[in-house]
Structure 1
Amino acid sequence: MPTTVKEMLAAANDAVPRIAPAEARAMAEQPQVVLLDVRDAAE
C-alpha cells in the first residue's frame, strides 16, 4: 500500500488510463461516449 504522496500519485497514475487530446476529441464525437470533467472549480 502506498505511504508517501509520491507513491500515491504513482499508484493513481498506474490505475487511470491516459489518452492523447486528439484521441479524446475523436472519442467525444461518438454518441455512446460520455466525457466527465472532474477538475476543481478553480481550475
Structure 2
Amino acid sequence: MASKWIVKELKDLQKVKENPGPISGGLAPIYDAAGKIPDRGIV
C-alpha cells in the first residue's frame, strides 16, 4: 500500500527534523546519502 509507505516515510522525516544526527533505521540514511551525491544524474 503506497499510502502506508508515504506515512512511514513522513514519520521518518519528522524524526530526522526533530533529531538531527545519525539515524539507524528507516530509509532516512539512504535519502541523506543520495542528497550528498554531486551528480544528480546518478540517482
TM-score (norm 1): 0.33
Give the structure with the higher percent helix: 2
Which protein shows a greater Rg? Answer: 1
TM-score (norm 2): 0.33
Q: Which has the higher contact order (CA 8 A, sep 6+)?
A: 2
